[in-house]
Amino acid sequence: MSRTHVRCRINGDDAEFLCDAGDALLDALRDEMGLMGAKEGCGTGDCGACSILMDGRLQCSCLVFAPEAEGSSIVTVEGIADGDRLHPLQQCFLEGAALQCGVCTPGFLVAAKALLDRNPDPTETEVRYALAGNLCRCTGYDKIVRSVLAAAAVMQQGKEEAAR
Amino acid sequence: MRYAAPTSVAEAVALLGTEPNSRVFAGATDLVPQLRAGRPEPGVAIDLKKIPRLTSVAIDDGTWRIGAAAPTSDLTANEALTADVPGLVYASGLIGSDQIQNRASLGGNLCNASPAADAVPPLLVNTAQAVVAGPDGERTVPVADIPTGPGRTSLRPGEFVVEFLIDRPPPGTADAYLRLIPRTEMDIAIVGAAARITLDADGSCVAAAIALGAVAPTVITVPAASGGLIGQPIDARALAAVAAAASAAASPIDDKRGTVTYRRQVAGVLAKRAVAEAAGRARNGDGP
Ligand SMILES: Cc1cc2nc3c(=O)[nH]c(=O)nc-3n(C[C@H](O)[C@H](O)[C@H](O)COP(=O)(O)OP(=O)(O)OC[C@H]3O[C@@H](n4cnc5c(N)ncnc54)[C@H](O)[C@@H]3O)c2cc1C
Ligand code: FES
Ligand code: FES
């Protein structure tokens, strides 16, 4: 059967790929687009390792059929840094040792970005709820939560300095 | 498998009619895990999210119209809907993580027909109607008539749910939903209980409905528990009677989340707490 041709935007650039209708968007991103950031932990929506933003909304790319991406705008973990400058979340994860094996990290970063985009100054409880869809089997959640709070503080400070 | 994204109800009906082995979906948060577990793929997967009516949430002449494919995050973000049916919106917000809520729909929650589906008990206590489209046009049916057993619905071949209709509740009315799960997030209900209560100016109950999830093959309403409240104040005696009637109406199964005895007990406790919470909201004017 012929494959489906999908056109969309990925991390700010026009992109196109071929897929089978039943493919997960996660597999198209990894296998067709070579974007290996999003990971498959479970394939069933439980672990969040495959998290991406689609039209600004946080989603599990393992639950999205690849053809659904037609015309959409996608952000993966590869798109959150500013060129060579890491996103404050990435910098704070590094400094806060919020990863060990790193398999869960792209998903946590994208989910945390989705949170800070809509709530730049979250409480610890809000961070924990916002990350409830992301599982980590090695680091534990404390360092991750602290690093997200640290990144929020850095970003708030950046905004205040820019306003001065 | 083929993928199709119709942009009108008529187009979706036509597709379902011409492709015998087709299946509609919204968030696919139930569908994909089922395919992963080995369920046969549909011939055509029909994505309902591109049909504007299926994703809109609006109040129209005193009736809420909630698109069957609208993601639950659109419900929790809707302040007017939350003010009118706080229990339904709270239940919708319990479905999975933020990732899941950006996809999960009420249509999927209902038509997947899990007895533990969190949004269904509050739909029942609000006597929600479902607009169903199919080869013979559209019909409106009580939501309560749609699930017939685990994974089974009364929808006929070629039919799907377009939207849910909920009349704006009258003054002095409020709903509530409570569930017990083994942890604080991301799990399936051991028991879920919804209540809707209308109080008159003296605090006496003039209308009541109670529904229970995860204690029978489908979500059930419990008229035996709500009927006794009419004409009474919602006090300790009334709540004890609700708990006893709800426990008696529950016919749960044993599984890893709980035993029959435990579920029956919890059904009573949650039913009475849901009634108390709904009555508290109705009293404080926290409903509409
Ligand atoms: C990680 C995770 C956590 C979850 N947590 C919860 C939870 O806490 N509580 C809970 O209740 N559920 C939970 N679920 C299950 C699921 O997310 C919900 O049932 C959700 O509401 C399903 O909606 P959907 O749009 O994704 O359904 P889909 O998967 O798109 O569809 C489900 C079924 O309904 C049919 N269908 C869909 N829309 C229609 C329609 N309009 N008309 C007719 N048939 C239709 C489909 O053909 C399919 O058979 C969870 C799932 C995951 C993956
Ligand atoms: S791989 Fe998508 S949620 Fe686990
Ligand atoms: S760092 Fe290994 S799973 Fe989180």
Res A9: pLDDT: 98
**Cα B263–B230–B127 angle (5° rounding)?**
65
For residue B256, the model assigns a pLDDT of 83
pTM listed for this prediction: 0.96
Alpha carbon distances (Å) from B288 to A34, A91, A117, A126, B82: 51, 47, 31, 28, 9
The proportion of chain B whose per-residue pLDDT surpasses 70, expressed as a percent, equals 98
Domain end among A33, A62, A79: A79
Answer whether B32 touches A (CB < 8 Å): yes
CB contact under 8 A, A133 and B186: yes
Q: Do A54 and A99 reside in the same domain of the chain? A: no
Residues A120 and A151 in one domain: yes
Question: So what's the pLDDT on residue B186?
Answer: 67
Domain ranges of chain B: 2-167, 173-284
Residue B101: strand pairing partners: none
Give the H or E element holding residue B103. none
* B55 in Cβ contact with B49 (< 8 Å): yes
Residues of B in contact with A51 (CB under 8 A): 99
DSSP secondary structure, B166-229, as one string: EEPPPTTEEEEEEEE-SSSSS---SEEEEEEEEE-TTSBEEEEEEEEESSSSS-EE-HHHHGGG
Q: Of A38, A59, A79, which residue sits at a domain end? A: A79
pLDDT in tens, B141-151: 999 999 999 99
Residues A94 and A158 in one domain: yes
Q: Over 90: is that where the pLDDT of B28 sits?
A: yes
Alpha carbon distance B231, B239 (integer Å): 14
pLDDT surpassing 70 at residue B286? no
Nearest ligand to the C-alpha atom of residue B120: 1
Task: Give CA angle at A44 (A124, A52), nearest 5°.
Answer: 55
Is A45 within 8 Å of B33 when comparing Cβ atoms?
A: yes
Nearest 5°: CA angle at A132, between A129 and A134? Answer: 140
Closest chain B C-alpha to A22 CA, distance in angstroms:
6
- Helix runs in chain A, H state only: 25-27, 88-95, 105-118, 124-130, 141-163
Q: Which residues of A touch B (CB under 8 A)?
A: 4, 20-22, 24, 43-46, 48, 51, 57-60, 62-65, 67-68, 70, 111, 114-115, 129-130, 132-134
**How many Cβ pairs closer than 8 A exist between chain A and B?**
75
CA of B248 to the centre of ligand 1 (A): 29
Average pLDDT over residues A4-24: 97
Query: What is the fold, at CATH topology level, of the domain defined by B2-167?
Result: 3.30.465
Q: Is B39 on the interface with A (CB under 8 A)?
A: no
- Looking at the fold, whether A93 and A63 belong to one and the same domain comes out as no
One domain, residues A110 and A56: no
CA proximity to B198, closest of B224, B229, B220 = B229
Nearest-angstrom CA–CA distance, B222 and A34: 54
Considering the domain architecture, whether residues A74 and A97 belong to the same structural domain is answered as no
Instruction: Give the total number of structural domains in chain A.
Output: 2
**A113, pLDDT greater than 70:** yes
For residue A97, the domain's CATH number is: 1.10.150.120
Here the ipTM equals: 0.96
Q: Name the residue range of residue A125's domain.
A: 88-163
**Tokens at residue B30, please?**
């139930």
Query: Could you write out the DSSP letters of every residue in B230-257?
Result: TTSB--HHHHHHHHHHHHHH-----BTT
Largest CA distance in chain A: 60
| Domain match, A65 and A119 both | no
Tokens of A131: 């990350």
| Residues with a CB atom less than 6 Å from ligand 1 | A 44-46; B 23-31, 33, 48, 68-69, 94-96, 100, 103-105, 107-109, 111-112, 117-118, 155, 160-161, 186
Q: Mean pLDDT across chain B, nearest whole number?
A: 95
To the nearest 10°, report the CA torsion of B171, B241, B118, B110.
-80
CATH no. of B173-284: 3.30.390.50
Looking at the fold, whether A13 and A75 belong to one and the same domain comes out as: yes
B286, burial (CB in 10 Å: exposed 0-12, middle 13-18, buried 19+): middle
Pick the residue with more confidence: B19 or A90?
Answer: A90
Provide the 10 A C-beta neighbour count for residue A143: 16
Task: Check the CA dihedral B266-B268-B274-B280 and report its sign.
Answer: negative
DSSP reduced 3-state for B128: coil
Ligand 3 atom nearest A137 alpha carbon: 3
DSSP class of residue B38 equals T
The phi-psi region of residue B2 (left if phi > 0; otherwise alpha if psi is between -120 and 50; otherwise beta) is beta
> Residue B288: is its pLDDT beyond 80?
no
For residue A58, the model assigns a pLDDT of 98
Distances (CA, A) of B215 to B29, B220, B253: 23, 8, 7
Give dist(CA A46, CA B100) in Å, integer. 9
* Residues 6 or more apart in contact with residue B37 via CB below 8 angstroms: none
pLDDT reading at A19 higher than 80:
yes
> Is the per-residue pLDDT at B166 higher than 90?
yes
Are A67 and A115 in the same domain?
Answer: no
